[in-house]
């Protein structure tokens, strides 16, 4: 899942972004409304976490624009404006969910994942290939009944490969979808993650390398 976090307080933005990344979610950060719209044009996000009171283009106008342009992402407003009237107004602008500050981080993660499951190209609840099974809701994986202990990025890569249903997924596509725009495009991160994932999946191998620079189940 790839998320755009739009928050003008840098410390809060980076704290939330780091927490989401630890949950295996790729996060890009924008600190104002103009930057948010620029990101939305160039990248397909599953969820946009949007503050309302933003410098530049106001958060309400960002929401209106995303909805008017038919962007497939879901919008979660995360804002200090938390009265019933504020929530009603935010949802009326086209937001899919609304969470007031201060908030419990676990609830934010749960709401982001719930919105991700409602996205147009959401993953099915279960991905299966032979004796390999991934539960995308519970975030668990097993092979031949053996539970797999996967790191968040390993799990996300496996999700992407299984969801492709035999299509070759390039390293660039994995880097963009599983990591975020802070990732170095020349890094060996994808290769190293695939290597660890193969070791954990065991024999017989299920991940095939397809030259140049792609993988498939």
pLDDT in tens, 147-196: 999 988 899 899 889 988 889 988 888 887 787 666 666 668 888 999 99
Length of the chain: 217
Confirm if 77 and 36 have CB atoms less than 8 A apart.
Answer: no
Residues linked to residue 85 through DSSP beta bridges, in sequence order: none
% of the chain surpassing 70 pLDDT: 94
pLDDT of residue 76: 94
Top-confidence residue, 70 or 202: 202
Neighbouring C-alpha atoms within 13 Å toward the C-beta of 42 = 12
% of the chain surpassing 90 pLDDT: 53
Q: Smallest Cα–Cα separation from 58: which of 4, 115, 8, 108? A: 8
**What are the CA-CA distances from residue 19 to residues 12, 15, 154 (Å)?**
11, 6, 17
Confirm if 72 and 43 have CB atoms less than 8 A apart.
Answer: no
Q: Tell me the two tokens of residue 152.
A: 């968040």
Strands, DSSP E only, in the chain? 2-6, 26-30, 47-50, 74-79, 97-100, 126-129, 132-135, 140-143, 146-147, 169-170, 208-210, 214-216
Q: What is d(CA 129, CA 108) in angstroms, rounded to the nearest whole number?
A: 31
Arithmetic mean of pLDDT over the chain: 88
pLDDT of residue 9: 94
Q: What is the pTM of this model?
A: 0.69
Q: What is d(CA 37, CA 155) in angstroms, rounded to the nearest whole number?
A: 29
Place of tokens 């948010």: 36
- Average pLDDT value for residue range 83-94: 88
- Domains, the chain, ranges and CATH? 2-118 (3.40.50.2300), 126-216 (1.10.10.10)
């Amino acid at each position: 899942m790839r998320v755009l976090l739009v928050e003008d307080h840098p410390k809060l933005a980076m704290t939330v972004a780091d927490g989401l990344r630890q949950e295996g979610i790729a996060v890009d950060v924008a600190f104002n409304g103009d930057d948010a719209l620029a990101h939305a044009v160039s990248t397909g996000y599953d969820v946009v976490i949007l503050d309302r009171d933003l410098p530049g283009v106001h958060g309400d106008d960002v929401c209106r624009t995303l909805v008017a342009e038919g962007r497939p992402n879901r919008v979660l407003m995360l804002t200090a404006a938390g009265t019933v009237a504020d929530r009603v107004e935010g949802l009326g602008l086209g937001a899919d969910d609304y969470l007031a500050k201060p908030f419990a981080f676990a609830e934010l993660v749960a709401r982001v994942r719930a919105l991700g499951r409602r996205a147009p190209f959401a993953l099915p609840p279960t991905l299966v290939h032979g004796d390999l099974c991934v539960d995308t809701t519970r975030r668990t994986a097993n092979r031949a009944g053996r539970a797999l202990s996967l790191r968040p990025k390993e799990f996300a890569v496996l999700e992407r490969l299984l969801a492709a249903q035999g299509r070759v997924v390039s390293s660039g596509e994995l880097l963009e979808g599983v990591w975020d725009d802070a990732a170095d495009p020349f890094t060996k991160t994808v290769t190293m993650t695939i290597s660890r994932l193969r070791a954990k999946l065991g024999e017989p191998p299920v991940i095939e390398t397809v030259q140049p620079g792609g993988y498939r189940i």
